[in-house]
Structure 1
């Protein structure tokens, strides 16, 4: 079974430099009648709605992310470094029962459950699968089990880019720009959640 590795160990320096406060993943992007919904909460909910197993990699000091995972009963790996390569390797190490990994960024809350499912399905036919929107590559990026050992060796901020170049990749085209949309700046917090559904307003 393939699962979703949700990378939530970044420091969000651009967000802070642009006037944001604290880790951007904990910024409120929407409010419901019951509570406030953070960027991370929204991304996690989208991933869980796919029905696939989810595993989160985050920083030891990001207590709100860990609390959200505890409420959702989602396992967590704590990463001392925010390097993408180390985060992926740690997540793969801690999910030995999976036969594929969808690497997704926790600051991309607009990716729908259907996108996760489609990319995972493509892994039945290729070692690597990546979504595209109008020729722009996006996330989540899928890796099949034959690449497990190479994923475990990843280091640094380049993540799995070398694997994308070295192995045959199947491209999955979408009409939805969600696969390339992230939130880096406070000004991008312009979405709301109504009745459990995410609606982008920009």
Structure 2
């Protein structure tokens, strides 16, 4: 069973810009624990690449840094002037008909480790939907099996896959890592190097 990581990177990051930052949050840089200075998206992409799973990125045509980085790493890209996460998921799933499972991951979640991707992918062999959680908080990436391909391709708007998570049985996979729920929506959430 081929399960891949679908990185949703087609958002505009309006809250990030409204909070006073210039440009798309995915291109904002920070230094990670290993001392690497990269963009939010580059951190996310490197974590996904380290898992060894296939990857597909859905991003906006005007976000040149994201799709240029994908080109440099030979990661397939779907360019989409997205109306919301639902549209991004549908486009990415439609572009990967050879996969039997999708780990839907948000590009603004750069702290999810390769091991988390692999554990969610492994659990997807026994469940139609797998969602990591930290305490009582649901997180990402959310895994979906091929049983839900048609429904994933029919998603629209900004609610992502919420309707599927509400209407289908979801296997929660507990983690003791905050990273499964930690995203970057505001400039103040970017890690500060000491």
Instruction: Tell me, in whole angstroms, the C-alpha distance in 2 between the residues paired with 1:65 and 1:147.
Output: 28
Judge conservation of contact 2:131–2:140 (CA < 8 Å) in 1: yes
The residue aligned with 2:14 is 13
Q: How many residues align?
A: 192
CA root-mean-square deviation: 1.7
SS in 2 for 1:162: helix
Q: How far 1:187 moved relative to its partner? A: 1.4
Query: Where does structure 1 differ by over 3 angstroms across 4 or more consecutive aligned residues?
Result: none
Q: How far 1:191 moved relative to its partner? A: 5.1
The residue aligned with 2:75 is 74
Gaps of 5+ in 1: 193-200
The residue aligned with 2:55 is 54
Instruction: Tell me, in whole angstroms, the C-alpha distance in 2 between the residues paired with 1:31 and 1:165.
Output: 35
TM-score by length of 1: 0.91
Judge conservation of contact 2:101–2:146 (CA < 8 Å) in 1: yes
Instruction: Tell me, in whole angstroms, the C-alpha distance in 1 between the residues paired with 2:154 and 2:115.
Output: 30
| Residues 31-76 of structure 1: CA deviation (Å, up to 9, x unaligned) | 89x9841000000000111110000000000000011101111000
TM-score by length of 2: 0.95
| Residues 115-138 of structure 1: CA deviation (Å, up to 9, x unaligned) | 000111111111000000011000
Gaps of 5+ in 2: none
Instruction: Tell me, in whole angstroms, the C-alpha distance in 2 between the residues paired with 1:152 and 1:97.
Output: 14
Q: For 1:148-163, what aligned pairs fall within 5 Å after superposition?
A: 148-163=149-164
Q: How far 1:24 moved relative to its partner? A: 0.5
Judge conservation of contact 1:28–1:37 (CA < 8 Å) in 2: yes
The residue aligned with 2:148 is 147
